[in-house]
Amino acid sequence: MPRENDVVLINPGDRKQIFQGLSQEMAAIEPPFWIAVIAAYLRSRGYKVSVIDSNALNISPEETAQKVNEFGPILTVVIVYGSHPSASTQNMTIAGAICKALKEKTEAKVAIGGLHPSALPKRTMEEEKVDFVIDGEGPYTLDLLLELLNKNKKDYSKVLGLWYRDNGKIINNSRAPLIKNLDDALPVAAWDLLPMDVYRAHNWHCFDDIHNRTPYGAIYTSLGCPFSCVFCCINALFGKPGIRYRNPELVIQEIDTLVKKYKVKNLKIADELFILNDSHYMGIVERIIRNNYDLNIWTYARVDTINYNNLKKMKKAGINWLALGIESANTVILDGANKQMKARDIIMVARRIQDEGIRIGANYIFGLPNDTRDTMQATLDLAMEINAEYSNFYSAMAYPGSKLYDMAVREGLELPKTWNGYSQYSYDCLPLSTKYLTAREILRFRDNAFHEYFERLVYLKMIEKKISKDARRYIENLTKIRLKRRILE
């Protein structure tokens, strides 16, 4: 009897463990675009593909394995990926549990891929119950692997990007080449394979209409980032800094599908740095305007990549939020993090963005190399002076694949004992200590900074005036949640 599927792609996740009390209503549930695109590519190559979004469905590893058995594939692939640097490593605990359940309860071969496995492929192969590790982007590797498995061939030596065992010995092949033409290899995502009615936008993304966070879409218009920030691991998947673009026309096809077929209004453009190349992102902006889509978009930018001349059109296209990587107020700290920008310019750039009606989701990091209690306080003071409509406060983490991780290993610094300890919001969260600060001091400062920022009357009044009373009440309820932390007990 023919199989119903050649391959099942799995998106792992454990929202309760990663987000604690924020998981019920506060945290977003993001569609796994990278998985959906790989699924579309494999379908274009003639394979029968299904997707199980265990994170969105909030199902256990055993339930995931049960669903796999209903499909009867020859290969299952757990893809641990995410658009935020923490989103891959923090999910490795549950990803490992899913792989174990798949090995014990299904007949399919088990592979794991994504950002974290690409950063630590040998360790992943040694520690997880898997047959294969996919090192790198994945589409080309999976294509050839499926071809061999369907022919019942066991010589994997020509499958670029593959780690496997041969007579108990771990073997690794060199990485597959990076995808040169994204338009050919990354077609419109296979949205039909995802539970599109489950996804939920970030709370702040929908402050204007807080009770309507679904449906929600997330897309990439490019891959990679040309910068090398020490705290970021995004380029571990690609092997080096760099950026490749999808054709704006293909991006519009993607958006058109989401808008017309799935009624998406809330959209995240998840590129590591969308606001960078004017001709690329403005080509998309102008097409969105021509198509008259009614969108609420957020995307990433750097303070030093903002072109003021483009802000009006960006707002007209529905880019209502820009997530700015400000990180620190201190120029020395910024330089140590490979962020070549001047702190004194940050406020001016923020004001220009807000003057055009675009809101700011500001990102700050406490505990970067050379940070002290005083420099962290200066960063918090800067955050309060900017008074962005939303601010994310992070602790510096040594994510595998980042320069901070290499430094931590080299210097013998303490790292989280479990992968979920890399989650910013988990009970086991363990930031990277510095020569001036302990992990405990950094995390306590971060958690207190969150409440100090969001409980300020000047901030709450600004939100009520610029957005609504509903948004203010939502934030007041959000600040009632106190995260539990092992190292702070």
**Residue boundaries of the structural domains of the chain:** 7-172, 203-396+431-488
C-alpha 267/C-alpha 298 separation (Å) is 7
Nearest to 134 by CA among 276, 237, 219, 33: 237
Give me the residues of the chain with pLDDT under 50, please: 1-2, 18-23, 336-338
| Residue 308, CA distances (Å) to 91, 269, 462 in order | 38, 20, 23
C-alpha 394/C-alpha 45 separation (Å) is 41
| Torsion of the alpha carbons at 11, 15, 19 and 24, rounded to the nearest 10 | 140
Nearest to 440 by CA among 373, 364, 369: 373
Q: Which CATH class, in words, describes the domain spanning 7-172?
A: alpha beta
Q: What is the pLDDT of residue 171?
A: 97
Q: What is the pLDDT of residue 440?
A: 98
Tell me the helices (H) and strands (E) count for the chain, helix number first.
20, 15
CA angle 271, 277, 282 (to 5 degrees): 90
C-alpha 86/C-alpha 426 separation (Å) is 12
C-alpha 106/C-alpha 104 separation (Å) is 6
Structure tokens at 472: 């203010």
Q: What is the pLDDT of residue 337?
A: 47
Query: Strand, coil or helix: what is 86?
Result: helix
C-alpha 87/C-alpha 94 separation (Å) is 12
Q: Which residue has the tokens 């599908």?
A: 257
- Amino acid letter for position 124: T
Structure tokens at 134: 């996919």
Q: Which residue has the tokens 């519009």?
A: 252
Nearest to 126 by CA among 157, 169, 76: 169
Residue 341, sorted as left (phi over 0), alpha (psi -120 to 50) or beta, turns out to be beta
C-alpha 427/C-alpha 446 separation (Å) is 14
Q: Write a three-state SS string for 29-51.
A: ECCCHHHHHHHHHHHHCCCCEEE
Structure tokens at 91: 């999910």
CA angle 350, 354, 357 (to 5 degrees): 155
Tens digit of each residue's pLDDT (9 = 90 or more) over 181-240: 898 888 999 999 999 999 999 999 999 998 899 999 999 999 998 888 888 888 888 888
CATH 3.80.30.20 fits 203-396+431-488, yes or no: yes
Q: What is the pLDDT of residue 341?
A: 60
Q: What is the pLDDT of residue 127?
A: 97
Identify the DSSP state of 483: -
CA angle 162, 95, 128 (to 5 degrees): 55
Q: What is the pLDDT of residue 24?
A: 53
Tens digit of each residue's pLDDT (9 = 90 or more) over 322-375: 999 898 887 655 554 445 566 668 899 999 999 999 999 999 999 998 899 999
Q: Which residue has the tokens 């399919």?
A: 108
Structure tokens at 370: 């050379």
Q: What is the pLDDT of residue 172?
A: 96
Q: What is the pLDDT of residue 442?
A: 98
- Contact indicator for 4, 71 with CB cutoff of 8 Å: yes
Common-topology check for domains 7-172 and 203-396+431-488: no
Q: Sort strands 75-80 and 7-11 into parallel, antiparallel or unpaired.
A: parallel
Q: What is the pLDDT of residue 18?
A: 47
Residues in the chain: 489
Q: Which residue has the tokens 């995931």?
A: 64
What is the pTM for the complete model shown?
Answer: 0.93
Q: What is the pLDDT of residue 133?
A: 98
